[in-house]
Structure 1
Amino acid sequence: MSRTFARGWAGRVTVRVLALALGLAGLTAMADRESSASLHAEPAAVSTTQADVTPPPMGWASWNSFASSIDSGVIKQQTDALVSSGMAAAGYQYVNLDDGWWQGDRNADGSIAVDAGLWPDGMKAVADYIHSKGLKAGIYTDAGKNGCGYYYPTTRAAAPGTGMEGHYQQDLETFQRWGFDYVKIDWCGGRVEGLDQETTYKAIAAADEAATAVTGHRLVLSFCEWGSGLPWNWATGYGDLWRTSTDVILWGQTPTTAMMLTNFDRALHPAAQHTGYYNDPDMMMTGMSGLTAAQNRLHMGLWSILGAPLLAGNNLATMSTTTRDILTNRELIAIDQDPRGLQGVKVAEDTRNLQVYGKVLAGTGKRAVLLLNRTGSDASMTVRWADLGLTSAAASVRNVWSATNAGSFSTSYTTTVPANDAVLLTVSGTEASGATYEDTTTATTPAFTGVTATSAGTKLIDVTYANGGSTARKATIQVGGQYTYVVSFPPTGASSTYRTVSVLAHLAKGTNTVRFAAVSGSTAPDIDAIRVQNIPGTDGTALVGAASNRCVDLAKNTITDATQAELWDCAGGQNQTFTHTTRDELVVYGNKCLDADNSGTANGTKVIIWDCTGGTNQKWTVHSDGTVTNNLSGLCLDASEAATANGTKLILWTCNGQTNQKWTLN
């Protein structure tokens, strides 16, 4: 949740709540609009026409296979292979040079000096060659003074000065003039120098805009600070994509399923991903030595349900036809590139490590589903339509990898999933009902008050808007006191033509305010209405302290193991929404358990989060008197020193009946 709250909000608008039913035929609203000469012309209800958003980047990146050993010959070879293999035709369009392309020299004016031995015709010629094949070109730099190859040399000696610090706009202008379309900005120098992630990357985004004003050629910005600065809280609308974890594989390692699952788990930040901005779990290992075909398919399935960038890292010139077929599976690519642009979310885990993920797709009643079996045995797994936000009416199911129709099923679908593997499906069913909230003011960026939720959880919000301009416009969205996210609104063709874009938002149980605001320096779209629909499989509960009336919270949406839980004002964020499972766990973020630190049983033991293990120190009993006890120690969940302020740390303590040990599950 945000540590910066909206202050002094004046002029709250009045909204009218309209019941809305959604079926395969589309939305029908009970129009009950106020008639007033002061209102601008708006549609009768939320639009049913979805605007396509920019999909996550697809392409190839050099690091995983070549490390620092890249030159003009390597890049031309991989570019040609991207085309001849059919990957370009399947949607892979970027050829990205990673670390090692530049040896760190600068000319007297500070401009980049290119190594003529590696790039005899210069870097513009490299970008031109990639463009000549109908592709786009990407390049690498670091936010600090030195790139990662300086601190962690691989196939070439460490070269100092390979970062862009002190030359942000100059280097970005250079990349743009060379014709590059995409830049990955690493964090090795930034980390060593102790730079602040948010401040630094926002400065780079501003420098990119300034450079574009000079050259007319904007770069796609890939922020690569490994999730260390919690970019899911601030990077949306500044970067086009941002890394959520450390590298999926280090140079010289053998790829494993565990590596891909770790980065998958760390990339699950659904509120941050929408309208062309993406969480990035890193380049893929698909096709690298050490992975079986089944593991390669699993890898692709994980990334596609995330809606993650698909940047292959294997040697395209030597890959097998099996690898090529996996990388170019058109049904899987369609899930990843879905024009609604949303991330998949976990909607069920009835049995430990048998997990169901659902992704809302463009259209009506369309979902992608990943049944993920993280156990060592084959298992029967079920996806329920209700968990996905669909009705129990019959829905058709298709298996993506076998490219076969499984049939039509009411209520749910069950299949066997192999050990340590997944089944990827598409489901076409009937949308459950939702509620529409209309703006009845002349504001272009209104606040919608009284947005109700019967349970805390992740909700699908369709935003009706008009943008009569020729380029995307921006506005921010904020739910209660949570973090503020920038939303991009593509052109709709005319100021009177309305479309929708979608976001996933975390709502608290009860009444919420969904507030839009203009972005400085950007013309705002005209936002008219929102439609809110539950995704029941994400529902959870807030733990509210009786003494403080504040919620159990993980500061700043951190996902780091051993983070101590604390009290904070209730806002309904994902970091305050817990699932109380039948296994007596209190699960947050879908994969972290409330935990007694180091299996402690003494008074004062920290209450932290940790990857769910099934240990007794992660099991909790909720009692009718409001206490919550740890099953290992029998001690009570306690706000330390009976404090009630924001930031009060949670510990275990002998149950004493005081209100700092009483909790309401809301």
Structure 2
Amino acid sequence: MSRTVARSWTRRITVRVLAAGVAVAGLATLDRPESSAPLSAEPAAVSTSQTGVTPPPMGWASWNSFFSSIDHNVIKQQADALVSSGMAAAGYKYVNLDDGWWQGQRDANGDIVVDENLWPGGMKVIADYIHSKGLKVGIYTDAGQNGCGYYYPTTRPKAPNTGMEGHYQQDLETFQRWGFDYVKIDFCGGREERLDQETTYKQIGTANEAASAVTGRKLVLSFCEWGSGLPWNWAPGYGDLWRTSVDILQKDETPQLTKMYYNFDEALHPAAQHTGYYNDPDMLMVGVSGLTAARNRLHMSLWSIAGAPLLAGNNVATMSAETRDILTNPEVLAVNQDPRGLQGVKVAEDTRGLQVYGKVLSGTGKRAVMLFNRTGSAANITVRWADLGLTSASATVRNAWTRTDAGSFETSYTTSVPANDAVLLTVSGTEASGSTYEDTTTATTPTFSNITASTAGTKLVDITYANGSSTARKATIQVNGQYKYVVAFPPTGSATTYRTVSLLAHLAKGANTVRFAAVSGSTTPDIDALRVQAIPGTDGAALVGAASDRCVDIDKNAHINGTKPQLWDCSGGRNQTFQQNSRGELVVYGDKCLDAVDDDKGDKVAIWDCHGGANQKWTVHSDGTITDLNGNCLDASGSATANGTQLIRWQCKGQANQKWTLR
């Protein structure tokens, strides 16, 4: 893959680095464009006033209960029930029509023709009705010529031409004029036509902006290509949310715990989720027949710690009070809807299957914690404050489901968690120190050089900025040679009022470079300072080849089992950070083990779900070799050193291509 870095600066300026925002700790250099406009004022240090970002969408979607059998009566009934049940008051605002609303007819101008037997008066009428309830409304389409109902008909015969290909801006304008607020864009037609996911969805994002310029309305864009095009690398800022995995529930399928776990795992891409952009593990199964109350609570805990969109899929009009209470628990929803907009990350797994996830919340010293028992037996699980980026001082613990205080605890907290269940907590402690890198120049999109990390891992980054306009502005951020992400910067009230937004970034051990750049078509905010703080439970190390000085890399942040590691220029990405645990495993992404593939050839290496097998055990030796249990060495194939060189297992020969440094 290409990781080319654009270099547009022309001069270098030395500025202060403030440790924990107070004391001078050292020097950092900032690279600046010459053409930056001067500012009337700059803050003395990083702001501590956090800006709330757009939270993950909450609402209801038709597919999991009604599939293609939707019409105005079904949708009105569910909208009414959202209000009467109290779900709307709890935050479930969207009523989303999925596949089946349209039968694919267009008029001579190419405009959508609606079946008024299903939708009397047309789609604007149903949108107006939902808006009259104080709710918002969403609709469905496909990036290709045909929607999923054409290839996989359910409850209605397949209808051709239900996609938007060839009509991107036209259909988006139509949806906006009808009054819709949200659109889910599937990829069944796109897949059949072999469209490129990134190119196609970026075209749709551009068409949406053009449509908004005509109508004055905006649509939330939900990209639904099931993670096939690795959207966590490119979707933020082009879409508002993007699916990261397959459908969690299909027609005539009973909800499965294994699928719930899989979709949760596949959605954890913390660097992509920030400032109102969200990884989407799919709609909720809560209240769908086949899940117990305990499983429904587990489902909500997983989606809440992940900061995932919450789109209920049950029949709201017939749900039980128990289901309603699970869906509307205010403290669980507060974890999901936290204004900082970040994703939880795994910070510990001392024993296989007993996992700890931490999510940075708004405020100071605030965390959500999920103690997740994926095993078949009840077990004690411990969360350590230090793993979360807190000091070891006393912290208070509260159970989000029972809405009761557990008390104050020094250093850590331990509790029993039932088999295949989770305990969701909020923790209030003392924030650990961080380092602040301040820009005192007049540039708006700076490059911060020499951002120093003592360990490789995921870090909390607070960005101080000013945006005096009435709408959000955008800029890209890039750490070292990693992917660029679009970041949204909401208004701060004036051009001299500075606030912060937060994101999670993956840094290498040692010096790192963080670059901001303008986004085409958007006025840039004034970015003034960064505060960087470790989340120690995510710390790991890069595996650096002695011959190549390149890192073991999982190409394009791919997460699928069987992906083969390669050599690539070291950038500190999560796809290059491995944790060596007491079980002899080398773990990437928190859940994938370096795996000696068991096949006839016997030399392959890949990543795979960690399962405790002998083929996932490795020994790191003092001479730099890394061997499997058969004594074979981790080897850069053919003694090659170039980017893209695949790794294999080979007879140990003491050569440099078989020696590695954990950095």
Aligned pair partner of 2:657 in 648, 657, 660: 660
Does structure 1 residue 629 correspond to structure 2 residue 627? yes
Q: Answer whether contact 2:375 2:419 (CA < 8 A) is retained.
A: yes
Deviation at 1:41, TM superposition (A): 2.1
Deviation at 1:657, TM superposition (A): 0.3
Q: Answer whether contact 2:260 2:299 (CA < 8 A) is retained.
A: yes
CA offsets, 1:604-643, max 9 Å, x none?
x111001111001011000000000012x21000000000
Does structure 1 residue 51 correspond to structure 2 residue 48? no
Deviation at 1:388, TM superposition (A): 0.2
What is the distance in 2 between the residues matched to 1:32 and 1:521? 37
Q: Answer whether contact 1:621 1:630 (CA < 8 A) is retained.
A: yes
Q: What is residue 384 of structure 1 aligned with on the other side?
A: 384
What is the distance in 2 between the residues matched to 1:580 and 1:180? 49
What is the distance in 2 between the residues matched to 1:452 and 1:31? 11
What is the distance in 2 between the residues matched to 1:32 and 1:435? 10
Does structure 1 residue 644 correspond to structure 2 residue 632? no
Q: What is residue 220 of structure 1 aligned with on the other side?
A: 220
Q: What is residue 339 of structure 1 aligned with on the other side?
A: 339
Q: What is residue 475 of structure 1 aligned with on the other side?
A: 475
What is the distance in 2 between the residues matched to 1:32 and 1:597? 46
Q: Answer whether contact 2:355 2:372 (CA < 8 A) is retained.
A: yes
Does structure 1 residue 561 correspond to structure 2 residue 551? no
Deviation at 1:599, TM superposition (A): 5.7
**3-state SS of the aligned residue for 1:664?**
strand
What is the distance in 2 between the residues matched to 1:483 and 1:341? 20
Q: What is residue 60 of structure 1 aligned with on the other side?
A: 60
What is the distance in 2 between the residues matched to 1:122 and 1:519? 38
What is the distance in 1 between the residues matched to 2:40 and 2:386? 38
What is the distance in 2 between the residues matched to 1:543 and 1:193? 39
Q: What is residue 374 of structure 2 aligned with on the other side?
A: 374
What is the distance in 2 between the residues matched to 1:340 and 1:582? 34
**3-state SS of the aligned residue for 1:598?**
coil
Q: What is residue 250 of structure 2 aligned with on the other side?
A: 250
**3-state SS of the aligned residue for 1:41?**
coil
Aligned pair partner of 1:611 in 600, 609, 612: 609
What is the distance in 2 between the residues matched to 1:485 and 1:41? 28
Q: Give 2:275's aligned amino acid.
A: T
Does structure 1 residue 80 correspond to structure 2 residue 80? yes
* CA spacing shift, 1:82–1:38, aligned 2, 3 Å: closer
What is the distance in 1 between the residues matched to 2:24 and 2:661? 36
* CA spacing shift, 1:567–1:653, aligned 2, 3 Å: same
Q: Give 1:527's aligned amino acid.
A: I
Q: Answer whether contact 1:15 1:449 (CA < 8 A) is retained.
A: no
Q: Answer whether contact 1:13 1:447 (CA < 8 A) is retained.
A: no
1:109-508 matches, within 5 Å, as 109-508=109-508
What is the distance in 2 between the residues matched to 1:552 and 1:288? 43
Q: Give 2:635's aligned amino acid.
A: D
CA offsets, 1:573-623, max 9 Å, x none?
000000001001000001100001126683xx1110011110010110000
Q: What is residue 512 of structure 1 aligned with on the other side?
A: 512
Deviation at 1:252, TM superposition (A): 1.1
What is the distance in 2 between the residues matched to 1:493 and 1:600? 65
Q: Answer whether contact 1:596 1:608 (CA < 8 A) is retained.
A: yes
Q: What is residue 31 of structure 2 aligned with on the other side?
A: none
Name the % identity. Answer: 75
What is the distance in 1 between the residues matched to 2:42 and 2:298? 46
What is the distance in 2 between the residues matched to 1:293 and 1:89? 22
What is the distance in 2 between the residues matched to 1:562 and 1:654? 22
Deviation at 1:12, TM superposition (A): 5.0
Deviation at 1:17, TM superposition (A): 4.5
Q: Answer whether contact 1:15 1:440 (CA < 8 A) is retained.
A: no
Of the structure 1 ranges 590-599 and 489-498, higher mean CA displacement relative to structure 2 is found in 590-599
Q: Give 2:49's aligned amino acid.
A: T
What is the distance in 2 between the residues matched to 1:340 and 1:640? 44
Q: Give 2:553's aligned amino acid.
A: D
Deviation at 1:117, TM superposition (A): 1.3
Of the structure 1 ranges 648-657 and 114-123, higher mean CA displacement relative to structure 2 is found in 114-123
Q: Answer whether contact 1:477 1:484 (CA < 8 A) is retained.
A: yes
Does structure 1 residue 550 correspond to structure 2 residue 550? yes
Deviation at 1:38, TM superposition (A): 7.8
Q: Give 1:614's aligned amino acid.
A: G
What is the distance in 1 between the residues matched to 2:383 and 2:13? 39
What is the distance in 1 between the residues matched to 2:474 and 2:166? 29
**3-state SS of the aligned residue for 1:115?**
coil
Deviation at 1:116, TM superposition (A): 1.2
TM-score by length of 1: 0.97
TM-score by length of 2: 0.97
Q: Answer whether contact 1:439 1:529 (CA < 8 A) is retained.
A: yes
Q: What is residue 14 of structure 1 aligned with on the other side?
A: 13
Q: Answer whether contact 1:87 1:328 (CA < 8 A) is retained.
A: yes
Q: What is residue 107 of structure 1 aligned with on the other side?
A: 107
Q: Answer whether contact 1:268 1:306 (CA < 8 A) is retained.
A: yes
Q: Answer whether contact 1:593 1:609 (CA < 8 A) is retained.
A: yes
Q: What is residue 2 of structure 2 aligned with on the other side?
A: 3
Q: Give 2:651's aligned amino acid.
A: T
* CA spacing shift, 1:216–1:31, aligned 2, 3 Å: farther
Q: Answer whether contact 1:307 1:341 (CA < 8 A) is retained.
A: yes
CA offsets, 1:308-358, max 9 Å, x none?
000000000111000000000000111100000000000000000101000
**3-state SS of the aligned residue for 1:270?**
coil
**3-state SS of the aligned residue for 1:317?**
helix
Q: What is residue 33 of structure 2 aligned with on the other side?
A: none
What is the distance in 2 between the residues matched to 1:32 and 1:586? 34
* CA spacing shift, 1:342–1:601, aligned 2, 3 Å: same
Deviation at 1:521, TM superposition (A): 1.0
What is the distance in 2 between the residues matched to 1:542 and 1:565? 13
What is the distance in 1 between the residues matched to 2:189 and 2:164? 9
CA offsets, 1:502-559, max 9 Å, x none?
0100000000001111111111000110000000000000000000000000100000
Q: Answer whether contact 1:61 1:98 (CA < 8 A) is retained.
A: yes
Deviation at 1:468, TM superposition (A): 0.6
What is the distance in 1 between the residues matched to 2:26 and 2:433? 18
Structure 2 gaps, min length 5: 29-36
What is the distance in 1 between the residues matched to 2:322 and 2:293? 7
Deviation at 1:201, TM superposition (A): 0.2
* CA spacing shift, 1:12–1:277, aligned 2, 3 Å: farther
Q: Answer whether contact 2:367 2:427 (CA < 8 A) is retained.
A: yes
Deviation at 1:249, TM superposition (A): 1.1
Structure 1 gaps, min length 5: 22-26
Of the structure 1 ranges 323-332 and 116-125, higher mean CA displacement relative to structure 2 is found in 116-125
Q: Answer whether contact 1:462 1:530 (CA < 8 A) is retained.
A: yes
CA offsets, 1:125-158, max 9 Å, x none?
0100000000000000000000000000110000
What is the distance in 2 between the residues matched to 1:564 and 1:628? 17
What is the distance in 1 between the residues matched to 2:89 and 2:25? 45
What is the distance in 2 between the residues matched to 1:39 and 1:32? 25
Q: Answer whether contact 1:13 1:441 (CA < 8 A) is retained.
A: no
The runs of at least 4 consecutive aligned structure 1 residues that moved more than 6 Å come to: 31-34
What is the distance in 2 between the residues matched to 1:465 and 1:612? 41
Q: What is residue 24 of structure 1 aligned with on the other side?
A: none
**3-state SS of the aligned residue for 1:79?**
helix
What is the distance in 2 between the residues matched to 1:181 and 1:425? 33
Q: Answer whether contact 1:39 1:440 (CA < 8 A) is retained.
A: no
